[in-house]
Structure 1
Amino acid sequence: MVFAAPQEALAGARRVLAGRPAPLHASVAHQVIGIWQRDFGDLRLALRHLRRARDWAARAGSAEREADVLATLGVALVHAGRTRQGMDALGRGVERGTGHTRARVLFRRAYSWWVLGHHREALEDVRRAIPVLRQAGDVIWTARALTLRATVHLALGAVDRADADFTAAEALWDTTGQEHDKADAVESRGLAAFRAGDVPAALRLLDEAEERYAKLGTPTFMLSIRRCEVLMAAGLAAEALAEADAAIKVLDGIGGQSTRKAELLLAAARAARLAGDPHTATDRAGLAVRLFARQHRAWWEAHARLVLTEARHAAGRRSGRLVAAAAAVAGQLTALGAPAAPEAYLLAGRIALELGRAEEAERHLAVAARSRRGGPPLARMTGWAAQALRARAAGSARGVLEACRRGLDVLDDHRMTLGASELRARATAQGAELAALAQQACLASGGPRRLLVWSERWRATVLSAPPTRPPADPALLSGMTAYREIAARAEEARQEGRPVPALEREQRRLEREIRSRTLHMRGEAAGDGDRFDVGTLLRHLGDDSTLVELAVLDGRVQVLVCARGRVRRFEAGLLTAAETEAEHVQAGLRRLAHPGAAARLPLVEAAGRRLEELLLGPAAKHLGGGPLVIVPPGRLHRVPWALLPSLRDRVLSVSPSASSWLRAKRTVPPPGGRQVLVRGPGLATGGAEVPELADRYGAATVLEHDGATVPRVLAELDGAALAHIAAHGAFRADGPMFSSLRMEDGPLIVHDFERLDRSPYRIILSCCDTARFAAVGADELLGLVTALLPLGTAGVVACSAPVNDAAVVPLMLALHKGLGAGLSLAEALRDARAALPGDAVHQATGWAFTAFGAA
């Protein structure tokens, strides 16, 4: 009962003890309290009650009862880090018990072996226990044993064997009322899905397990450890670190299991390293190593030492001692049969290469490269990274490119199993090293065309296929409706000066629920079979247009100028300096949005000149005079390109990738030419351009006031030829998929746009912050604009900085005048800037808007 209904079992045990029970009954009651405290509470109290249970069992003269209590006590001692005492107690339990009881003790000793990382011993004990439990007709303990054996198989990489045991256990659980064990089975299924490479299913199953545990009121430390592993594989390392640290805090607060704390520290260390925080990773991994060593958990200690060595390397350490440490860990992991061994060999080889120890590096990399032939996607990625480094050390650019191509193909296949745009984007971080190795090989020996191909290979890949359409899930739809209502109420309360903490808490809860459900989506689209071709790009550019792609290699900007049938390369400045200058420009534009700041205009223009030198360098003199397309890296998404002197009077558009621009170029406008004009609430000018545009277009659909609700706006936007939305934009750096446009009934968010069958062919977003993005993964962008591009939008005009609302109105009217004359968005925006008054406010407003795409 302690696992079927934990709180009731605890209360029942206390009632038994309050009634002066017989020794046998007192032993059972203390054992129940000990189990509850061991798994859900204070481990020190657990040990106190379990020792009393052992003493009462001895008084009762029952060897079977004593054996059972010794097994429970042994598990608790192991979790407390007293490994030798715990295994001794379990050994005595095996000796004291017989038949059915002995099989239960063997199961618990197998569990303890698994906790300690002794997987072969765990398999031996559980294999001895299962036949006896089955013969006794003990459904619950047989299911537990099968679940444990499956989990051990997973640790050893035997996914098929694990799946068979999980299936058998699940059939048994369906016949019982063991709710905690059922939740544990769902959790274990999530782990199995992850090991098989199905991240969405893993997240869904782990969330389901969490809901089941919540109904029982039990802590979920093991679940947190497993979710951290899945989150890291999905590119959500910062979230994994936050979850691990929060779980550690709760565990410390209740005096919980020392073994779980060590595992959570290891998860936090791995997450911190992947999140680019090597110092936190070193701190957490060092603590984990010490705890695992005290607990005599060699398997876990070896994994913690691997993360510690990786963190030290990431912090800039390079030495023969570090190579030796990585090699030693690799040997330990191999001896333990751990699937992580190739990662350690790759690390040893990488450090040896950096130190110029070619022969030593080859030995380690050759072992790591074997994993490229099989196993989960990320394991194969490790193998191909090792193979690419081997080829580079051997001086074979061709070998480097082949290994990088094969490795990124593996990641492509994995990425397309993910339905959520956010996961697809973040997963690309796993391929960043391979993409960089390929670009470096091209820079050294391949010429500018090949460098362009590899710059495109891993740039803005999330836009290569439409996102998986969110399911018609009633819970998801009602959650999004509730989210809009709460967000609208919170905004209204802020404007009226009323407190909003409760509303904000509910808003965050709904955001977590919506995001969770969207992350569960499995990908439906196949990988992009239409690989980027330089010749096709050059033909579409023709004799007049130029495309400039900025690649970043070793921190420096490489400018690839594509025009008139050729690709040329120029070297510009440092990316970090350009990022700093771009932030200065953004700050200047913010100030110029307010009248009276005209004195700052020369400073902003001077910053624009410096930015041009850093981003274009000598290429600025080779851009021709026709239309220009800029393809910047994700980290430069906020550059106001029209401010750069040589681009100021150009027909200029921006695209996340050359491939994205080609797709936009090929996009056919929808039939009918339908126009939609939307005016949201709370605008300083009241969206003054919308009534004038309505008169100009005549038959346009106008949505304003009570008509500008999210469902109505989405219905009208779907398949429109042109949409103009005058609504407050809000960018969410902490959750880019919740970046929004404010409608009458609440925010229209990125998740809403992804429900469109086809987004408008052209869309103009006339308010602040609509062209801001979050740069994630290898070189991906998440935001309002990038949500539209894969869904059929060929061109967008949006704003990357705060602007003066009044100055926006004449810009928008001039822009639409150009569109009415048959111009493209980029041509119309160029002419609209030129038509504005020459004062600082209007100039800054014009620079802040950018045309994206090719329409």
Structure 2
Amino acid sequence: MMSGSESVLELLPMVFAVPGEALARAQTLLRTGPSPLDASVAHQVIGIWQRDFGDLRLALRHLRRARALAARARSAEREADVLATLGVALVHAGRTRQGLDAFEQGVARGTGHTRARVLYRRAYVWWVLGRHREALEDVRRAVPVLRQAGDVIWTARALTLRATVHLALGAVERADADFTAAEALWDTTGQEHDKADAVESRGLAAFRRGDIPAALRLLDEAEERYAKLGTPTFMLNIRRCEVLMAAGLAPEALAEADGAIAELDRLGGQSTRKAELLLVAARAARLTEDPNTAIARAAQAVRLFTGQRRAWWETHARLVLLEARVAAGRRSGRLVADAATVAERLAAFGSPAAPEASLLAGRIALALGRSAEAERHLAVAARSRLGGPPLARITGWAAQALRARAAGSNRGVLEACRRGLDVLDDHRMTLGASELRARATAQGAELAALAQQAALASGRPRRLLTWSERWRATVLTAPPTRPPADPALLSGLTAFREIAARAEQARRDGHPVPALEREQRRLEREIRSRTLHLRGEAPGGGDRFDAGRLLRRLGETRLVELAVVDGQVHVLLCGQGRVRRFTAGRLDRAVAEAEHVQAGLRRLAHPGAQARLPLVEAAGRRLEELLLGPAVRHLGTGPVVVVPPGSLHRVPWALLPSLRERVVSVSPSASSWLRARETEPPPGGRTVLVRGPGLATGGAEVPELAGRHGAPVVLEKDTAHVARVLRELDGAELAHIAAHGAFRADSPLFSSLTMADGPLIVHDFERLTRSPYRIVLSCCDTARFASVGADELLGLVTALLPLGTAGVVACSAPVNDEAVVPLMLALHKGLGAGLSLAEALRDARAALPDDATHQATGWAFTAFGAA
């Protein structure tokens, strides 16, 4: 049992070392009938716990009681300390004036060391309110006194706060210095909650430096520390949402913010945190192209910030509200004026977001035809292109591109877009995970679109081709960072595989699987989190596209790149030493027609659907008109390579009449095709045949193929487990995998092939030193992708291409398993005769029986790459 006021005071630092224990001891103390001074400490401890981790109304009740008891004990120092704690709670409750009044009284009553602690907490409140200059002034006054008193804990807190304020003002180097000094002090204490907060703050600093993998790693580490203490993590939620949005993971950020808001409401927690969570939710909703949700969240945030007298935060919320209204289609002179006002206020605050507001004002003014007004705002926004973090410079280059377009300078537009995309290239290549690289390209979507519009207006097809390639399938320009031999990651992958296999077996047996599915989702989050921590190794933005090199390598082949500008499909036909442009149809109509074709192919996979064959063929003719237009008459007689945009990745190109009897392959980009064409097969010529479990035909082609390929490695039954399959695939010349495929639209890098011990996922393939030179995937849904970022594709095939695979045959639709067997046998016959994958697939289709099911099966398979 606690006794004596000096020992009771030890409860206060315990709140941020072992919060639960501090709460329990304070409650126990109150049951012993303590003195007013000791009871004041106990109520303050309970108030702090409720303020930060529980119900804010209860916090205020305990803190007011703590103040009354301090006054009864006639301790001015004790009363000053409680007033500071009460002031923080009042501000978090949205009662800003009352909170600041409490601080005035606390500063007046405290002296020396106590007053320095009060000043630190008032500095924290100034930061919460967005009044950064006042925050820095109070920290400046507090730190020397705290240091002189040898108060390590409060000095470290003050330095951490000052670093956080510097970050809000964009002074990253000053923040780093303070974080380093604070961390050295924290290492000498047992303040576990404060240590977790320091790790979280370092994550924020990494984010401000543009190091997203490090930011995610540090925030995850902080979350683990908080979890051990059993404390909520609302500030961490806010910061992680910011990082997720910068990484292109806005849907995840919106889900996390909304979940945190619901939890905060359940607890009756701080309204200041709720307002901040609403703001990040609004930003995330805007980035996910949900302007109505963004408007609702931002408007609620504005109301809360206004009531809390938090002008800095309110102004940022107004910026998001304006952006969401513009995204919803609103344009008016009033919006221009409002955006300009927000930009001025943000600049006065020293906020790095000021250029975004100026860019918004300029963009609206341009749409309204107010050229002079637009130029004024865009010129201000364009200044940010010269320095600062990557996303701020990209904003500046976007403004510069719009200025050049308004001035009629195509050259100026292209130069600004080039410079802006170079910045994003450098930023993107610091990311090790292919998912982050792909999603980060969304930041350059506007620059890429402006460049393509300018290239089209120039009337030079080769220029349009170059810019179409500039921001297409860039994730394939360099391999993802190979995951290290991380025991935790490998253990997580093994556990995930085991749980997934158990869940699948339970489903087949008709048993409920909610618990297994929950554990599978948990393991997926853990694996994904660890892969997102990887930092990129490749410098720069990868290879630059060279149209001349492409044309020299094509020979008799024609490459058809489909560039989409303002929703219109433009066919760039490359061959015979030149690039020609043809105008085809509208993208939205082509996407809708492609979905109809996919539905038709699914029906034709089942016997008895012969009557639907003419409908599918008619849809193929419509697709040809929409996608190729007049270019059809200029394709020549040689092989054709199609480079479609991401939204058309599921088109069965062999269904189009002009391509049906041709050698056709598909590539995510012309650059990717070039790399595949120039990839040399590995030495040794090893062939690997894999047969997974549960196939309707039992993978009937595999035994026969084993007899055709000399001495292949055959993996089936118990030998077809993931570790062995990966070991044999690494560096093979040819691999044939007959296994169930599953595409995960929600998380494409968990798309899988079913092996004996569970799913082989895309993350597994990324661990290969070199993926097989050629791969044949004879199962359904292996050629499905998720379209993310600007024009990126995530899926099984795109994971293989940067890792050394030059050619893949895969399927984009459900197919008839029995019809697949003769197709695969005929395909391998062609490969044995020395044909490429595309040539062998063309001949294999022609060799199939002439019925609807076999024809649909042939159309559903596509050759990717150039091998």
Instruction: State if a TM-score over 0.5 links the two structures.
Output: yes
- The answer as to 2:585 corresponding to 1:570 is no
- Give secondary structure in 2 for the equivalent of 1:667: coil
2:832 alignment counterpart = 820
Aligned pair partner of 1:511 in 508, 516, 524: 524
Measured in 1, the distance between the counterparts of 2:136 and 2:789 equals: 39
How far apart are residue 837 of structure 1 and its match? Answer: 0.3
1:316 alignment counterpart = 329
How far apart are residue 528 of structure 1 and its match? Answer: 4.0
- For 1:448, give the aligned amino acid: P
CA contact (8 A) 2:477 2:542 kept: no
Equivalence map 1:44-63=2 (5 Å)? 44-63=57-76
**Structure 1 stretches of 5 or more lacking a match?**
none
Deviations 1:268-304 (A, max 9, x none): 0000000111110000000000000000000000000
- The answer as to 2:413 corresponding to 1:390 is no
- Give secondary structure in 2 for the equivalent of 1:194: helix
Equivalence map 1:190-339=2 (5 Å)? 190-339=203-352
Measured in 1, the distance between the counterparts of 2:65 and 2:582 equals: 78
- Give secondary structure in 2 for the equivalent of 1:676: strand
How far apart are residue 446 of structure 1 and its match? Answer: 4.5
- The answer as to 2:560 corresponding to 1:560 is no
Deviations 1:591-640 (A, max 9, x none): 10000111111111111111111111111111111000000000110111
- The answer as to 2:775 corresponding to 1:763 is yes
- Give secondary structure in 2 for the equivalent of 1:548: strand
- Give secondary structure in 1 for the equivalent of 2:275: helix
- The answer as to 2:177 corresponding to 1:164 is yes
Measured in 2, the distance between the counterparts of 1:677 and 1:83 equals: 70
Deviations 1:380-399 (A, max 9, x none): 00000000000000111000
1:626 alignment counterpart = 638
How far apart are residue 825 of structure 1 and its match? Answer: 0.4
1:776 alignment counterpart = 788
1:582 alignment counterpart = 594
Measured in 1, the distance between the counterparts of 2:842 and 2:444 equals: 37
Measured in 2, the distance between the counterparts of 1:672 and 1:150 equals: 57
How far apart are residue 530 of structure 1 and its match? Answer: 3.1
- The answer as to 2:673 corresponding to 1:675 is no
- The answer as to 2:394 corresponding to 1:381 is yes
Equivalence map 1:537-552=2 (5 Å)? 537-542=550-555, 544-552=556-564
Measured in 1, the distance between the counterparts of 2:540 and 2:679 equals: 19
- Give secondary structure in 2 for the equivalent of 1:822: coil
- The answer as to 2:500 corresponding to 1:500 is no
How far apart are residue 457 of structure 1 and its match? Answer: 0.2
Equivalence map 1:369-768=2 (5 Å)? 369-528=382-541, 530-542=543-555, 544-768=556-780
CA contact (8 A) 2:560 2:641 kept: yes
- For 2:297, give the aligned amino acid: R
- For 2:488, give the aligned amino acid: A
- Give secondary structure in 2 for the equivalent of 1:560: strand
How far apart are residue 498 of structure 1 and its match? Answer: 1.1
Measured in 2, the distance between the counterparts of 1:22 and 1:172 equals: 34
* Cα RMSD, aligned residues only: 0.6
Measured in 1, the distance between the counterparts of 2:390 and 2:325 equals: 26
Deviations 1:777-801 (A, max 9, x none): 0000000000000000000000000
How far apart are residue 529 of structure 1 and its match? Answer: 5.1
- For 1:52, give the aligned amino acid: R
- For 1:215, give the aligned amino acid: K
- Give secondary structure in 2 for the equivalent of 1:468: coil
1:29 alignment counterpart = 42
Measured in 2, the distance between the counterparts of 1:325 and 1:443 equals: 34
How far apart are residue 123 of structure 1 and its match? Answer: 0.2
Equivalence map 1:127-206=2 (5 Å)? 127-206=140-219
Aligned pair partner of 1:66 in 63, 67, 79: 79
Measured in 1, the distance between the counterparts of 2:492 and 2:459 equals: 52
- Give secondary structure in 1 for the equivalent of 2:573: strand
Measured in 2, the distance between the counterparts of 1:348 and 1:446 equals: 31
Q: Name the TM-score, length of structure 1 as normaliser.
A: 1.00
Deviations 1:128-152 (A, max 9, x none): 0000000000000000000000000
Deviations 1:475-506 (A, max 9, x none): 00011011111111111111111111111111
- Give secondary structure in 2 for the equivalent of 1:725: strand
Measured in 1, the distance between the counterparts of 2:296 and 2:768 equals: 46
Runs of 4+ in 1 over 6 A off after TM superposition: none
2:9 alignment counterpart = none
- The answer as to 2:831 corresponding to 1:831 is no
Identity of aligned residues (%): 85
Q: Name the TM-score, length of structure 2 as normaliser.
A: 0.98
- Give secondary structure in 1 for the equivalent of 2:20: helix
- Give secondary structure in 1 for the equivalent of 2:770: coil
- For 2:659, give the aligned amino acid: L
How far apart are residue 698 of structure 1 and its match? Answer: 2.1
- Give secondary structure in 1 for the equivalent of 2:80: helix
Measured in 2, the distance between the counterparts of 1:276 and 1:849 equals: 33
CA contact (8 A) 2:477 2:543 kept: no
**Structure 2 stretches of 5 or more lacking a match?**
1-13
Residues 529 and 424 (structure 1 numbering): CA distance in 2 closer, same or farther, change over 3 Å?
Answer: closer
